[in-house]
Every structure is written in C-alpha cells, then in structure tokens.
Amino acid sequence: MEIEVRLFATFRVGRWMNKRLSFKDDAKIMDVLDYLGIKKEELGLVLVNGSYKEVDEKLNNEDILAIFPPVAGG
C-alpha cells in the first residue's frame, strides 16, 4: 500500500516535507515512525486524513499521515 507522509517543523530536518512511501498492507502508524527513526516520546500530534489517531492505528492505502513534534510557545 502507498501512503503520503507529511512531516512538520523539526521532523523535516535531514528528511523531507512530503513523500509517498510504500508499506505492507497491515502497517500501523508506529511502523512508519520506526521507518523514520521517530520515537513515540518525540511525538506531539499524529493525524490520518486530518483526524487525530493513536500510533497503534492501522493505515489504509492512500492515507495521508501528518506527523508533528511537540509545540511550545508563548
């Protein structure tokens, strides 16, 4: 299956902004994070097709996965 992965803020450093990736049909969000070398503890927010999801959620073909680090500010 193919998904579009969109990285934001510091997750783009040394990577890319948007990219289509292929994964096995039963892949979960955590599989993508492992592939990217992003630990669960480093996450701020994960969206699939614009909806908040947990990292153990299964992905579907043509999903759009957006990965955000924690955001701080004032």
Q: Strand runs (DSSP E) across 1-74, as ranges? A: 2-7, 18-22, 45-48, 51-52, 64-68
The predicted model scores a pTM of 0.90
Residues 21-67: tens digit of each pLDDT: 999 999 999 999 999 999 999 999 999 999 999 999 999 999 999 99
For 2-68, CATH number out of 3.40.1280.10, 3.10.20.30, 3.20.20.120, 3.40.309.10 equals 3.10.20.30
In this prediction, residue 52 carries a pLDDT of 96
Of 17, 52, 46, nearest in space to 30 by CA? 46
